[in-house]
Amino acid sequence: MSDFQETLFEGYGQRFQIDKLLHDVHTEHQHLVIFENARMGRVMALDGVVQTSEADEFIYHEMLAHVPILAHGLARRVLIIGGGDGGVLREVARHRDIESITMVEIDDTVVQTCKEFLPNHSAGTFDDPRLKLVIADGMHFVTSTEEKFDVIISDSTDPIGPAEVLFSERFYQACRRCLNDGGILVTQNGTPFMQLGEVQTTAKRLHGLFADWHFYQAAVPTYLGGAMAFAWGACNAESRKLPLETLLQRFVGSGIVTRYYNPHVHIAAFALPQYVLHAIAKPSND
């Protein structure tokens, strides 16, 4: 039985036993493998970095979708950058009031392969009539589109290779341009314990661009190094300060049954540890 050794961090990493190799292909953009692991279910990796596993993807995709959409309260148009496995699409599509979902994914092979080998991630939502799937570079899309969105979700790989541009100042500026009044941007921003520099860089790039910026966290076992950070950029500073009652009303009203997200977790997720607050130069009462 062979192993998958993640290569994200020099000298430190995680190993998955490959119980069955399901797919291994060099796409136009990256090296894609999908394999079965007895403990984590089906696992996908891109360029040696674990992207998602069936066992815990619900944590990541629920937090990436429901936090901004329920905080916004009136979201109708959502843009997903990346997200080719379909997990965040599935969670966004559960919101009945969302009228339009645009997904801009650079690698069509990821979409097609995940439809086949990770069908529970998208759960058929690639056929949702509200979806417009655009196979393109997310950076090019946000810098050239005339469309506006209420929520933008960047569910990209790490800032190496094709996703490097999705962590640039120009990308965040373009996302800000594409947001309606009251709009919210959230992004995958790595695990602060292992990638604190990425959080610091994003903080500097969001500062001054949004009325409110911060990070929220969730521990996703598949993402090595502790809690995963999600960057938050909101056009309305009140979006992060909603009372629990409001979030509870919206959550119950959505009729969505979750396995990880709830309004208490939503609020708690924005409480950051001192070392992260210090790194992003924020007071502990922010």
Task: Examine the residue annotation and report whether 107 is marked as an active-site residue of this protein.
Answer: no
Query: Token digits for 179?
Result: 């947001």
Q: How far is the CB of 126 from ligand SAM (least distance, A)?
A: 13
Residues binding ligand SAM: what is the number (CB under 6 A)?
24
Nearest residue to 147 via CA among 135, 132, 136, 165 = 132
x/- track of binding to ligand SAM for residues 40-59 (CB under 6 A)? -----------xx-------
Known binding site for spermidine: residues?
61, 85, 155-158
> Per rule CB under 6 A, is residue 125 in the interface with ligand SAM?
no
Q: Does 199 participate in binding ligand SAM (rule CB under 6 A)? A: no
Q: Among 97, 155, 181, 286, which one carries the catalytic annotation?
A: 155
Q: Which residues are annotated as a binding site?
A: 30, 61, 85, 105, 137-138, 155-158, 162
Instruction: Give the CA count within 13 Å in the CB-facing half-sphere of 79.
Output: 28
Could you tell me which of 142, 176, 151, 171 has the C-alpha nearest to residue 67? 151
Q: Does 84 sit near ligand SAM (CB under 6 A)? A: yes
Q: Is residue 104 close enough to count as binding ligand SAM by CB under 6 A?
A: yes
CB of 239 to ligand SAM, least distance (A): 23
Give the nearer residue to ligand SAM in terms of CB position, either 27 or 249. 27
Binding site for ligand SAM (CB under 6 A): 51-52, 60, 81-85, 104-107, 110, 137-139, 155-157, 162-163, 165-166, 188
